[in-house]
């Protein structure tokens, strides 16, 4: 009896174990999708149209709802995490959601989405539920920003436009991209010109007759003038649904074929770059959603224009250096007046590039311990500048500039205390110098001169960008000047050696003392390019110098 009871109980335990094992296996294998679908439908974070992906603890995807399958283009294929990640950009943002709870925004198969992940208990395991919704903030509402479209436009700008295209082509490409996102009959980008305080049209799509009419009306937009000027003055966006709205802002040109206008300021931080406007021939063509779209992409447009400006500026610098080299190469350094011609060529070109009226070069004189001017100086008469010499005594402010400072600039020279220390009071007063910038000429760590540019022809004088340009030009000018100095030094040494040889030969052929002194003084005068030369010998008996 006891044995039969033991066998019965043992069989019962086996049957119960098989039963529970079968139920657990069925849960995991047979009815997994049904159970998960029930779980997802009961999950409060999901709503209609949102994509849902569910994975097990080790990342194996076990469920994807219909929107998720459509977004991923599965076409009936089972979902795999590797394939899903390959469609995400950046992929790490998606994969992080399957490893822990969190939120992220990324691009999934060319859709911009925001996603959140949740850890949900499911029996003995934990499921990861990732819920994704498209960044399209109610695209059925025309007055709400379509985030997906904004992201798409920004992506296209980044992928299509290259700063090396040049400003006009970049602006044209920007307007073309915008016209595909917002139907438009015309568009323009105007850039702010700080020196003139006006906006100049640099990019345009639409009827060319408008360009002709704008040119006849002055070709620029003043602050407060028309829609463009209003945006520039107030730094605010504008939506004009009809040009016949008396309460709206009117365009500069009253006779134009457009009835709806949309415009935003282009800014980068605190810097105002310009304006972007589009127009349509139909009234009420634009909505608040279109205005929000232009505002959303305006920062990217500002970055693109700024990068193009920087690239163009660097290209101009390279061209300026090349032009400076060509100017110098046209001069014959072996000519008697080679130094004067090279200095004038340098001064003229540098002054032209910096829009300045005056430019000159000072070289360090180690014997006199100061800076000596090299004639000619552009914009200053030779009689005024010839005797200028800048001493550099130790512990003086000019010595500190010469030895330690990267440059010296003053946009108010008249009230500059350093002018007196430099000994330039008379020059500043008589020449009418109002601003100046001094840049060292150096090779390596060795400074040997100063490039001085004065009277910049713009309001406010020299800017930080001018100083950057001057640094580049000074580096190139230093090479030219040093090569000229080396040639002059070599030529002078050759001349002196030839002169000494001639004197030696002449001495050997002389028979009288008077002929000796006459020949010596003549040779010295020729070497030094002077008109008079004599030798005086000391007479100890009479304690005086006697001419020989």
DSSP character string of 134-150 = ES-S-TT-TTS--HHHH
156, 294: one domain: yes
44, 117: one domain: yes
State the Cα angle at 177 between 241 and 132, rounded to 5°: 90
Report yes or no: 382 and 375 within 8 Å, Cβ to Cβ.
Answer: yes
Alpha-carbon distance of 46 to 130, in angstroms, equals 10
At 383 the pLDDT is 85
215 lies in some domain: yes
Most confident listed range (83-87, 172-176, 380-384, 454-458): 172-176
Q: Is the pLDDT of residue 235 over 80?
A: yes
123 lies in some domain: yes
Alpha-carbon distance of 228 to 214, in angstroms, equals 12
At 221 the pLDDT is 93
Query: Which of 135-144, 220-229, 431-440, 509-518 shows the lowest per-residue confidence on average (mean pLDDT)?
Result: 135-144
Nearest Cα residue to 381 out of 431, 340, 434: 431
Q: Is the pLDDT of residue 7 over 70?
A: no
386 lies in some domain: yes
358 lies in some domain: yes
123, 209: one domain: no
Alpha-carbon distance of 54 to 88, in angstroms, equals 16
Confidence of residue 27 (pLDDT cuts 50, 70, 90): very low
Among residues 450, 477, 504, the one where a domain terminates is 477
73, 127: one domain: yes
301, 394: one domain: no
Confidence of residue 19 (pLDDT cuts 50, 70, 90): very low
Express each pLDDT in 35-63 by its tens digit. 555 555 555 444 567 889 999 877 888 88
304 lies in some domain: yes
462, 496: one domain: no
142 lies in some domain: no
Contacts of 355 (CB under 8 A, 6+ apart): 456, 457, 458
Nearest Cα residue to 293 out of 168, 136, 160, 176: 136
At 387 the pLDDT is 85
**Token output for 246:** 């008396």
161, 308: one domain: yes
Express each pLDDT in 97-118 by its tens digit. 888 888 887 778 877 788 888 8
420, 337: one domain: yes
The single residue listed with the structure tokens 């030779």 is 382
pLDDT over 70 percentage in the chain: 80
465, 353: one domain: yes
**Token output for 258:** 């457009």
357, 309: one domain: no
Q: What is residue 532's three-state secondary structure?
A: coil
161 lies in some domain: yes
Query: How would you label 53-69 residue by residue, b for 16+ Cβ within 10 Å and e otherwise?
Result: bbbbeeeebbbbbebbb
Alpha-carbon distance of 34 to 48, in angstroms, equals 18
How buried is residue 210: exposed, middle or buried, by Cβ count under 10 Å (0-12/13-18/19+)?
buried
Report yes or no: 97 and 104 within 8 Å, Cβ to Cβ.
Answer: yes
pLDDT over 90 percentage in the chain: 24
At 192 the pLDDT is 94
Nearest Cα residue to 284 out of 263, 260, 250: 260
* HSE-up (13 A, CA, CB side) for residue 308: 24
What are phi and psi for residue 192, nearest 5 degrees?
Answer: -80, 130
485 lies in some domain: no
Total number of domains constituting the chain: 4
Q: How far is CA 491 from CA 329, 394, 487, in A?
A: 19, 33, 6
**Token output for 273:** 């770059």
At 30 the pLDDT is 41
In DSSP terms, which residues pair with 263 in a beta bridge?
238, 277
Express each pLDDT in 489-523 by its tens digit. 666 666 666 666 666 666 666 566 667 777 778 87
Task: Name the residue range of residue 531's domain.
Answer: 492-547
DSSP state of 74: -
**Token output for 94:** 């998606």
Q: Which domain CATH number covers 355? A: 3.30.450.40
How would DSSP label each residue in 201-243? EEEEES-HHHHHHHHHTTSEEETTSHHHHHHHHH---EEES-T
Q: How many CB atoms lie within 10 A of CB 491?
A: 13
Report yes or no: 380 and 432 within 8 Å, Cβ to Cβ.
Answer: no
At 99 the pLDDT is 87
Nearest Cα residue to 350 out of 458, 454, 482: 454
211, 234: one domain: yes
The alpha carbons of the chain give a radius of gyration, in whole angstroms, of: 41
372, 231: one domain: no
Alpha-carbon distance of 52 to 64, in angstroms, equals 6
Among residues 442, 477, 512, the one where a domain terminates is 477
Alpha-carbon distance of 178 to 351, in angstroms, equals 41
* HSE-up (13 A, CA, CB side) for residue 102: 11
Question: Between residues 133 and 202, which one has the greater pLDDT?
Answer: 202
Q: Which domain CATH number covers 40? A: 3.30.450.20
Alpha-carbon distance of 337 to 359, in angstroms, equals 19
Does residue 72 have a cis peptide bond before it, meaning omega lies within 30 degrees of 0? no
Contacts of 220 (CB under 8 A, 6+ apart): 193, 196, 198, 199, 200, 201
Nearest Cα residue to 84 out of 75, 120, 76, 74: 74
Among residues 103, 134, 165, the one where a domain terminates is 134
């Amino acid at each position: 009896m006891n044995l039969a009871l033991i066998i019965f109980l043992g069989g019962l335990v086996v049957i119960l174990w098989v039963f529970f094992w079968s139920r657990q296996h069925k849960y995991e294998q047979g009815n997994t999708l049904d159970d998960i679908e029930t779980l997802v439908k009961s999950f409060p974070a999901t709503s209609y149209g949102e994509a849902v992906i569910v994975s097990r603890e080790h990342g194996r995807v076990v469920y994807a709802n219909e929107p998720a399958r459509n977004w991923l283009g599965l076409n009936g294929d089972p979902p795999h995490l590797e394939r899903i990640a390959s469609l995400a950009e950046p992929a790490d943002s998606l994969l992080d959601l399957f490893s822990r709870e969190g939120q992220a925004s990324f691009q999934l198969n060319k859709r911009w989405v925001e996603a959140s992940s949740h850890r949900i208990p499911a029996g003995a395991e934990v499921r990861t539920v990732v819920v994704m919704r498209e960044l399209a903030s109610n695209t059925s509402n025309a007055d709400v920003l379509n985030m997906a479209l904004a992201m798409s436009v920004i992506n296209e700008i980044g992928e299509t436009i290259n700063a090396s295209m040049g400003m006009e082509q970049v602006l044209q490409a920007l307007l073309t991209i915008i016209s595909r996102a917002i139907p438009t009959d015309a568009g323009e980008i105007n850039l702010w010109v700080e020196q003139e305080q006006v906006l100049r049209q640099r990019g345009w799509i639409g009827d060319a007759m408008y360009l002709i009419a704008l040119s006849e009306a002055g070709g620029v937009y003043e602050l407060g003038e028309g829609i463009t000027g209003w945006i520039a003055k107030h730094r605010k966006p504008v939506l004009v649904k009809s040009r016949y709205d008396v309460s709206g802002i009117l365009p500069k040109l009253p006779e134009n074929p457009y009835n709806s206008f949309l415009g935003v300021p282009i800014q980068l931080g605190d810097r105002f770059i310009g304006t972007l406007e589009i127009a349509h021939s139909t009234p009420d063509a634009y909505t608040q959603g279109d205005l929000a779209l232009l505002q959303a992409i305006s920062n990217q447009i500002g970055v693109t224009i700024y990068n193009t400006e920087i690239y163009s500026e660097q290209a101009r610098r390279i061209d300026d250096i090349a032009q400076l080299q060509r100017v110098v190469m046209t001069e014959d350094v072996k000519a008697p007046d080679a130094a004067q011609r090279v200095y004038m060529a340098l001064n003229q070109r540098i002054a032209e590039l910096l829009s300045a009226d005056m430019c000159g070069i000072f070289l360090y004189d180690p014997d006199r311990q100061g800076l000596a001017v090299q004639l000619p100086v552009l914009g200053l008469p030779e009689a005024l500048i010839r005797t200028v010499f800048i001493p550099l005594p130790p512990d003086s402010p000019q010595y500190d500039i010469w030895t330690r400072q990267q440059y010296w600039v003053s946009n108010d020279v008249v009230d500059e205390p350093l002018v007196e220390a430099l000994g330039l009071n008379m020059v500043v007063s008589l020449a009418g110098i109002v601003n100046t910038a001094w840049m060292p000429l150096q090779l390596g760590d060795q400074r040997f001169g100063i490039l001085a540019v004065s009277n910049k022809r713009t309001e406010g004088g020299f800017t930080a960008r001018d100083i950057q340009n001057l640094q580049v030009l000074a580096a190139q000018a230093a090479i030219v000047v040093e090569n000229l100095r080396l040639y002059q030094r070599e030529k002078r040494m050759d001349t002196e050696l030839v002169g000494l040889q001639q004197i030696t030969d002449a001495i050997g052929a002389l028979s009288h003392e008077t002929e000796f002194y006459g020949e010596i003084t003549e040779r010295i005068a020729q070497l030094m390019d002077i008109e008079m030369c004599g030798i005086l010998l000391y007479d100890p008996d009479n304690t005086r110098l006697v001419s020989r």
